Structure 1
């Protein structure tokens, strides 16, 4: 998996008391997907050592692999002066089609967007569109951009280090990106939901 090494994710009840933000994320996904054991991928360098994330978890659900990041919010202790917001105020999520293993491109995408946020100082808010400069999977996908929406499947219920939300990434084509610029992100996502109600990001989608 390149930048990431796989390891077993500890259950929420076993997370150290000094990581209440981490536990909050795990709890939210445990509520959304009860009895589903995730695969966890840890980067070579965590946020405390200059990395972009502390990890990414992938949950094998009926709809596919449901990813969530750890590290754009404050996971362990309060670091920022903003007592109301945890870190950047969100973690990224992504839903990909069912497969034997979580796709490596999804890990690269999530890590890359997190890294861009830390480097630029600009968060990825709901309604944003992000041109990727090439195929989303680094291959021949027609999905070349990302739209950001509110995560519909999981909602944080605990805010020990400040408020945060889950922001779902949805892969879109060049044409859909232009349509969003001409109308709105929400309008086009609503149109796409007619054939893709769960907003699965499938690199093989033709249009």
Structure 2
């Protein structure tokens, strides 16, 4: 394997996921165009069958391969990867397709607009966060905003290419966004976490805040 082929950042993500999900094979997808082509965003995304939900984790917003000399040694690429959790029935063995598509769209938003996302930020899609009705398997939903927080299980890790945070995107309603603006994103997500500690995004959920 040459230096170009080595992927120490990718390996670091794999390692933390293997520790969280030992012996579990994820459902993985790759994206096109491939690495290095204009317009590309993610290299891939894995969905792990967790207890009661699917746990999606992206590859490509951090530096997966050998860094360039001008890259910041403290942070890997953008310094984060995205995660998303959606409900899963006990007998489900096929991860829904819409989260793979929506995470790619969010990654394109980051790359095209040079947006450095952090916990507490929000992305207002002004349309269903599932991609409904444009994506084939996307459920209808009242959730139109993604709120960002640190993934409660993956957190922040160090890699040979620098640190990265796993930023979990959590679907919320327009009303919940307005409440976040009046208080903080963290306050509203903390209230949601009282009944939903891992902040699984349930498309059929209605607003939980006044």
* 1:35-83 CA-partner distances (Å, limit 9, x unpaired): 2111110012123223101000110111311011000011011034311
* Partner secondary structure for residue 11 of structure 2: helix
* 1:102-122 CA-partner distances (Å, limit 9, x unpaired): 222211211011001110001
Inter-partner Cα distance in structure 2 for 1:106 and 1:157? 23
Inter-partner Cα distance in structure 2 for 1:125 and 1:40? 25
Which of 126, 138, 148 in structure 2 is aligned with 1:133? 126
Residue 145 of structure 2 corresponds to 145
Inter-partner Cα distance in structure 2 for 1:29 and 1:23? 10
Residue 183 of structure 1 corresponds to 183
Alignment of 1:64-143 (within 5 A): 64-79=53-68, 80-99=70-89, 100=92, 101-139=94-132, 140-143=140-143
Asked if structure 2 preserves the Cα contact closer than 8 Å seen for 1:92 and 1:168, the reply is: yes
Residue 59 of structure 1 corresponds to 48
Residue 137 of structure 2 corresponds to none
Asked if structure 2 preserves the Cα contact closer than 8 Å seen for 1:105 and 1:136, the reply is: no
Alignment TM-score, normalising by the size of structure 2: 0.86
Flag as ranges the 4+ runs of structure 1 deviating above 6 A.
Answer: none
Inter-partner Cα distance in structure 1 for 2:191 and 2:162? 34
Inter-partner Cα distance in structure 1 for 2:64 and 2:184? 33
Inter-partner Cα distance in structure 1 for 2:64 and 2:52? 28
Which of 31, 42, 45 in structure 1 is aligned with 2:33? 45
Residue 135 of structure 2 corresponds to none
Unaligned runs of 5+ in 1: 1-15
* Partner secondary structure for residue 167 of structure 2: strand
Asked if structure 1 preserves the Cα contact closer than 8 Å seen for 2:170 and 2:199, the reply is: yes
What is the Cα deviation at residue 164 of structure 1?
0.9
Inter-partner Cα distance in structure 2 for 1:155 and 1:33? 15
* Partner secondary structure for residue 118 of structure 1: helix
Alignment of 1:15-34 (within 5 A): 18-34=6-22
* Count of residues paired in the alignment: 192
Inter-partner Cα distance in structure 2 for 1:71 and 1:164? 11
Residue 197 of structure 1 corresponds to 197
